[in-house]
């Protein structure tokens, strides 16, 4: 990289959001550099995709093969980010998700409608391949799907139980190929998705977005560069980024006309908070004082159980591509004493996960027999709830630094009364559905745990109460953008990554257009 | 179900909370104890325990053997579970404290009630000693782990049982021979369920 080169756009973070955005920009003819803290990873060879626990003394399968760097910190996962190890569940949000305040006076409205994002959801589905069934549900819009993958036998049992309570179970929708597409093979159901899919049947941004975009000649990928600051001029324009080289620890700089921060929610917020300047002493683009606020991670509960009709059956290979079914939000049309809702992901354990065995009662030969009988019947159930914006927030730890000398990001999570009501109700429903499916309950999660991270640099029309506008553009600094979960004003209960990717595609189109009009 | 504290503050810190499973119990004891990037080859067989004394190791081995005995399939001993437990404990200070104090208490109470150390009892008597400990451990909520005020013998049984289950069912003998794990293969199509449910 020539030191004096000025790119049109520099994107920080090469995950699902940054990878999608950079590829879309390059295809639109924009000269773009994507900077990633972690190394370039060869998905074919570098992950421990097919390992089994007994190959390791501590029985834990490390993400990377020996000697292969990657996933060593939140700021240096690798080119592809968490899309390399995600589970690929891909939903469209619905109008009700975007307009919570309008519908029920809770949460925050997004500054645009479902219809504004729908074409970009379609574009992503056509580009990366999303399989699923068209179910015609109001709260879970259909898309342009590859054929769905059949449900597991155990899913069908849950479906029958849920039906007794009027609750619908549908095929999961995943950014995983059920048919070969664009040189990528169809999934072969080895059950290793979260260990890194080595054939790229499952979407990851490095292989599906970034590598093909290199052919445009417009894309530069700079791995191993941990960005520590986005620089801003006295004329209130960002000028580029300063980084620390992951290997040599030397400092470097990349200059660009536009800077996009896509470091995965909390790290995006942290990077802006680290970027202090004369103009922005409290963090870049934080004249509102709202940077770091309105952190709204999903929270999960969980039930572990044994499905009665499978106890004592011969164990079969039903790893599949982990979860094959889903319970979409069904509370919106039911009477309840809280706002918003939850959905349920289930049966996504794989059969290498045997941590439940210690909870089976007894010891001796009868205990051994009891575990064996229950093995084909084990199932996890994990409802995901929507957290309303409240007191949860993100800040920098004043005392603790990471191994690069950068402040550690802290998550402060407060559960509001509404959150706790959702948590209790989704736990109650989970147990009831499983009991209706003939399950013997093994354990019920007693406390909510956070999951997908969202919020912290929310979008909105009002610069006094939000950090970016509907184009993910900083209210304060015109040529600064934040594109990832951090901008979500409200979370919905649905896995968020498809929405991040659609948002990245929409923002890329906007940035490319504005650059052409020379209005950035 | 215990109601979670309202408005409880949790500083999650640097650990990303995107965890695949909502249960702490699914994180096997040793999962975070090893060096990053161990070789995906069968680990070198340890011959000597690192943490346990010879007497302690004999006791833990016997308990593991009684918890998962050999039947028509191998049991905990053939699967190398005692060395697995030693490896886990040698890397975990909290577990070290638990084992040191509870083994001593267990030994004292055995001598007091049975007049002999555990290892000198016959199998039927050993099972009699463990049965009430197992019942007490089974009656505890999963979250009771490590709670103060439990009988040390119960804590010992629970720790040995948990580690025996973890070690055995993640071993080749446990996962493949006993449970019949058959995943991690290539399938052309995922089969449609044709069961009568
Ligand atoms: C096991 C697992 C399963 C999941 N399953 C699903 C699912 O089924 N469905 C779903 O919707 N979501 C799922 N997710 C979440 C999903 O992976 C994330 O929502 C998504 O990857 C976020 O995209 P992102 O680009 O914002 O962040 P990431 O994909 O995490 O990418 C951010 C990148 O930025 C880099 N970075 C951070 N800070 C810096 C810095 N200062 N300088 C340089 N680089 C930096 C990181 O190294 C990283 O590579 C799952 C996540 C995990 C871990
Ligand atoms: S199950 Fe399919 S998507 Fe998952 S790792 Fe195997 S081939 Fe890839």
Contact A117, A97 (CB under 8 A): no
- Paired tokens of A488: 């979500």
A-chain residue closest to B179, CA distance: A372
Size of interface A-B (CB pairs under 8 A): 263
Using DSSP, state whether A39 is helix, strand or coil: coil
CB contact under 8 A, B21 and A380: yes
CA geometry: angle B29, B32, B34, nearest 5 deg: 105
Which residues of A, range 85-124, sit inside 8 Å of B by Cβ?
87
**Domains and their CATH numbers in chain A:** 6-516 (3.50.50.60)
Q: Tell the residue number behind the tokens 């000198």, with chain if given.
A: B120
Ligand 1 atom with the smallest distance to the CA of A82 is 29
Q: How far is A281 from chain B (nearest CA, A)?
A: 24
Rounded distance, CA A274 to CA B97, Å?
41
Between helix B93-114 and helix B54-67 the angle, nearest 10°, is 80
**Res. B135 pLDDT band, cuts 50 70 90:** very high
Q: In chain A, which residues have their Cβ closer than 8 Å to the Cβ of B11?
A: 410-412
Query: CA-CA distances (angstroms) from residue A503 to A160, A451, B63?
Result: 36, 20, 57
Within 8 A of A194 by CB-CB distance, chain B residues are 20
Query: Among residues 120-149 of chain A, which lie with CB inside 8 Å of chain B?
Result: 149
Are residues A443 and A355 in contact, defined by beta-carbon separation less than 8 angstroms?
no
Tokens of A455: 């919020």
Q: How far does the CA of residue A17 sit from the closest CA of chain B (Å)? A: 17
What ipTM was predicted for this assembly? 0.92
**pLDDT confidence bin for B144, thresholds 50/70/90:** low
3-state helix, strand, coil in chain A (%, to 5): 30, 20, 50
d(CA A329, CA A140): 8
| Ligand approaching nearest to the C-alpha of A501 | 1
DSSP B114-160: HSS-GGGS-HHHHHHHHHHHHHHHHHS-GGGTT-TTS-HHHHHHHHH
Interface of A with B in 18-57 (CB under 8 A): 48, 50-57
The 10s digit of each residue's pLDDT in B174-185 is: 999 999 999 999
Would the CB atoms of B37 and A64 count as touching at under 8 Å? yes
Residue B20 to chain A, least CA–CA distance (Å):
8
Nearest to A36 by CA among A295, A260, A283, A270: A260
Give the closest-approach CA distance of B60 to chain A in angstroms.
14
> Which spans in chain B are helix H?
54-67, 81-90, 93-114, 123-139, 152-169, 172
Supply the DSSP symbol for A393: E
Contacts of A352 (CB under 8 A, 6+ apart): A52, A53, A191, B170, B175, B181, B183, B184
Q: Do A368 and B68 touch (CB under 8 A)?
A: yes
Instruction: Specify the pLDDT at position B68.
Output: 98
Instruction: List ligand 1's pocket residues with C-beta within 6 A.
Output: A 12-18, 35-38, 75-78, 81-83, 85-89, 194, 226-227, 262-264, 267, 271, 452, 484-485, 495-497, 500; B 18, 20
- Short-list A294, A266, A270, CA closest to A283: A270
In this structure, the number of other CB atoms found within 10 A of the CB of residue A113 comes to: 12
pLDDT tens sequence for chain A (520 residues): 556 899 999 999 999 999 999 999 999 999 999 999 999 999 999 999 999 999 998 888 899 999 999 999 999 999 999 999 999 999 999 999 999 999 999 999 999 999 999 999 999 999 999 999 999 999 999 999 999 999 999 999 999 999 999 999 999 999 999 999 999 999 999 999 999 999 999 999 999 999 999 999 999 999 999 999 999 999 999 999 999 999 999 999 999 999 999 999 999 999 999 999 999 999 999 999 999 999 999 999 999 999 999 999 999 999 999 999 999 999 988 999 999 999 999 999 889 889 999 999 999 999 999 999 999 999 999 999 999 999 999 999 999 999 999 999 999 999 999 999 999 999 999 999 999 999 999 999 999 999 999 999 999 999 999 999 999 999 999 999 999 999 999 999 999 999 999 999 999 999 999 999 999 9
Query: Which residues contact residue A33 at a Cβ distance below 8 angstroms, ignoring those fewer than 6 apart?
Result: A1, A7, A9, A10, A11, A219, A220, A221, A222, A254, A256
Residue B109: pLDDT over 90: yes
Round the CA-based radius of gyration of chain A to a whole number and report it: 23
Residue among A200, A86, A62, A192 nearest A452 (CA)? A86
Q: How many CB atoms lie within 10 A of CB A204?
A: 28
Note whether A57 contacts B38, CB cutoff 8 Å.
yes
Q: How far apart are CA A162 and CA A156, in angstroms?
A: 10
Instruction: Say which residues have a Cβ less than 8 Å from residue B104's Cβ, sequence separation at least 6.
Output: none
* Burial of B107: CB neighbours in 10 Å, binned 0-12, 13-18, 19+: middle
CB contact under 8 A, A56 and B34: yes
Residue B36, pLDDT score: 35
Kindly give, in sequence order, each residue whose CB lies less than 8 Å from that of residue A51, ignoring residues fewer than 6 positions away: A61, A195, B40
Judging contacts by C-beta atoms under 8 Å, the chain A residues touching residue B80 are none
Residue B20 CA: nearest ligand 1 atom is 1
Cβ contacts of B76 on chain A, cutoff 8 Å: none
Classify the C-alpha dihedral A500-A501-A504-A505 as positive or negative.
negative
Separation in Å, CA A334 to CA A337, A341, A423: 10, 10, 16
Contact between chains at A317 and B20 (C-beta distance less than 8 A): no
Hey, are the CB atoms on B175 and A352 less than 8 Å from each other?
yes
What 8-state DSSP symbol labels residue A459? B
The answer to whether the beta carbons of residues A416 and A422 sit under 8 Å apart is: no
Dist CA B153 CA B149 (whole Å): 12
Instruction: Report the residue of A68, A355, A437 to disrupt the B interface, i.e. the one with the largest count of B CBs within 10 Å.
Output: A355
Interface membership of B190 toward A (CB under 8 Å): yes
Its sign, for the CA torsion A383, A384, A390, A392, is positive
Is the predicted pLDDT of residue B28 greater than 50, yes or no?
A: no
pLDDT number for residue A4: 82
Closest Cα in chain B to A307: B197
Write down the pTM of the prediction.
0.94
Which run of H or of E encompasses A512? helix A497-516
β-partners of residue A243 are A227, A252
Question: Looking at the CA of A404, which ligand is closest?
Answer: 1
Cα–Cα distance for residue pair A516/A511, rounded to 1 Å: 9
Atom in ligand 2 nearest the alpha carbon of residue A185: 7
Q: Which helix (H) or strand (E) holds B10?
A: strand B9-11
Q: Whose CA is nearest to atom 39 of ligand 1?
A: A75
Distance B29 CA to ligand 2 centre (A): 27
* Ligand 2 atom showing the smallest separation from residue A88 Cα: 3
| Residue A192 in contact with ligand 2 by CB distance below 6 A | yes
Inform me whether the pLDDT recorded for B31 exceeds 60: no
What's the 3-state SS for A321-355?
A: CCCCEEECCCCCCCCCCCCCCEEEEECCCCCCCCH
Q: Which chain A residues contact residue B124 at CB under 8 A?
A: none
B165 to chain A, any CB pair closer than 8 A? The answer is yes
A415 and chain B in contact, CB less than 8 A: yes
Ligand 1 centre from A202 Cα, in Å?
Answer: 15
CA nearest to A265 within chain B: B16
Can you tell me the distance from the alpha carbon of B147 to that of A425, in angstroms, rounded to the nearest whole number?
28
Q: What is the pLDDT of residue A250?
A: 97
- Looking at residue B45, what is its pLDDT? 67
Note the ligand closest to the C-alpha atom of A492.
1
Q: How far is CA B93 from the centre of its chain?
A: 16
Closest of A146, A77, A352 to residue B20, by C-alpha: A352
> What does the alpha-carbon distance between residue B160 and residue B130 come to, in Å, rounded to a whole number?
11
Q: Tokens 């400990």 appear where? A: B133
Q: How confident is the model at residue B18 (pLDDT cuts 50, 70, 90)?
A: very low
Distance, in Å, from the CA atom of A144 to the CA atom of A127, rounded to the nearest integer, reads 10
Helix (H, G, I), strand (E, B) or coil at A400: strand
Distance CA A178, CA A176 (A): 7
HSE-up of residue B102 (Cα within 13 Å, Cβ side): 23
Give the residue whose CA is nearest to atom 3 of ligand 2. Answer: A202
Q: What is the radius of gyration, based on Cα positions, of chain B?
A: 20
CA-closest candidate to residue A28, choices A1, A5, A2, A9: A9
**Ligand minimally distant from the alpha carbon of residue A191:** 2
Residues 6+ apart with CB under 8 A from A391: A412, A414, A416, B7
- Minimal CA–CA distance to A483: which of A6, A7, A16? A16
Which listed ligand is nearest to A274 at the C-alpha? 1
């Amino acid at each position: 990289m020539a030191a004096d080169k000025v790119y049109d756009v520099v994107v920080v973070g090469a995950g699902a959001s940054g990878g999608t955005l950079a590829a879309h920009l390059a295809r639109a003819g924009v000269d773009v550099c994507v900077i990633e803290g972690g190394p370039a990873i060869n998905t074919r060879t570098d992950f421990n995709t097919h390992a089994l626990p007994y190959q390791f003394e501590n029985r834990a399968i490390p993400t990377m093969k020996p000697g292969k760097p990657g996933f060593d910190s939140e700021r240096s996962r690798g080119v592809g980010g968490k899309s390399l190890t995600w589970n690929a569940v891909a939903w469209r949000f619905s109008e009700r998700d975007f307009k919570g305040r309008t519908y029920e006076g809770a949460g925050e409205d997004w500054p645009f409608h479902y219809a504004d994002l729908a074409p970009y959801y379609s574009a992503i589905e056509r580009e990366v391949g999303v399989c699923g069934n068209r179910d015609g549900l109001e709260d879970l819009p259909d898309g342009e799907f590859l054929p769905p993958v059949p449900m597991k036998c155990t899913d069908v049992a849950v479906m029958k139980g849920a039906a007794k309570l009027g609750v619908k179970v549908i095929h999961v929708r995943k950014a995983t190929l059920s048919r070969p597409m664009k040189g990528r093979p169809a999934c072969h159901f080895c059950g290793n998705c979260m260990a890194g899919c080595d054939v790229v049947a499952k979407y990851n941004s490095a292989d599906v977005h970034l590598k093909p975009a290199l052919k445009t000649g417009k894309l530069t990928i700079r791995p191993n560069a941990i960005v520590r600051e986005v620089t801003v001029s006295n004329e209130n324009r960002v000028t580029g980024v300063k980084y620390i080289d992951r290997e040599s620890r030397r400092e470097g700089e990349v200059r660009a006309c536009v800077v996009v921060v896509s470091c995965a929610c909390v790290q995006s917020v942290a990077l802006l908070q680290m970027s202090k300047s004369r103009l922005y002493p409290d963090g870049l683009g934080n004249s509102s004082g709202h940077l770091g606020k309105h952190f709204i991670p999903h929270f999960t509960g969980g039930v572990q159980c044994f499905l009665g009709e499978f106890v004592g059956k011969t164990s079969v290979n039903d790893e599949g591509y982990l979860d094959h079914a889903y319970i979409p939000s069904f509370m919106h049309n039911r009477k309840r004493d809280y706002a918003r809702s939850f959905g349920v992901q289930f049966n996504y354990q794989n059969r290498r996960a045997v941590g439940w065995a210690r909870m089976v009662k007894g010891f001796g030969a009868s205990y051994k027999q009891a575990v064996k009988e229950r093995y084909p019947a084990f199932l996890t159930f994990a409802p995901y709830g929507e957290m309303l914006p409240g007191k949860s927030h993100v800040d920098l730890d004043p005392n603790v630094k990471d191994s690069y000398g950068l402040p550690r990001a802290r998550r402060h999570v407060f559960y509001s009364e509404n959150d706790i009501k959702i948590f209790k109700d989704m736990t109650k429903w989970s147990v009831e559905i499983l009991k209706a499916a003939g399950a013997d309950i093994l354990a019920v999660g007693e406390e909510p745990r956070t999951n997908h991270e969202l919020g912290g640099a929310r979008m909105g029309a009002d610069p006094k109460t939000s950090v970016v506008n509907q184009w993910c553009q900083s209210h304060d600094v015109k040529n600064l953008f934040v594109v990832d979960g951090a901008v979500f004003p409200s979370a919905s209960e649905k896995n968020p990554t498809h929405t991040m990717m659609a948002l990245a595609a929409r923002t890329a189109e906007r940035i490319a257009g504005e650059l052409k009009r020379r209005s950035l | 179900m215990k109601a979670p504290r309202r408005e409880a503050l949790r500083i999650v810190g640097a650990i990303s909370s995107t965890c695949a499973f909502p249960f702490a119990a699914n994180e096997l004891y040793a999962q975070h104890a090893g060096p990053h990037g161990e070789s995906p080859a069968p680990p070198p067989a340890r011959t000597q325990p690192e943490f346990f004394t010879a007497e302690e190791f004999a006791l833990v081995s016997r308990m593991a053997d009684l918890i998962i005995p050999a039947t028509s399939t191998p049991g905990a001993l053939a699967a190398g579970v005692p060395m697995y437990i030693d490896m886990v404990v040698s890397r975990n200070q909290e577990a070290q404290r638990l084992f040191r104090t509870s083994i001593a208490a267990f030994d004292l109470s055995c001598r007091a009630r049975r007049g002999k150390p555990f290892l000198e009892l016959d199998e039927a008597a050993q099972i009699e000693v463990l049965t009430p400990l197992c019942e007490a451990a089974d009656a505890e909520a999963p979250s009771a782990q490590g709670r103060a005020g439990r009988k040390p013998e119960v804590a010992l049984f629970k720790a040995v049982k948990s580690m025996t289950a973890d070690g055995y069912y993640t071993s080749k003998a446990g996962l493949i021979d006993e449970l019949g794990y058959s995943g991690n293969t290539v399938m052309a199509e995922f089969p449609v369920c044709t069961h009568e449910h």
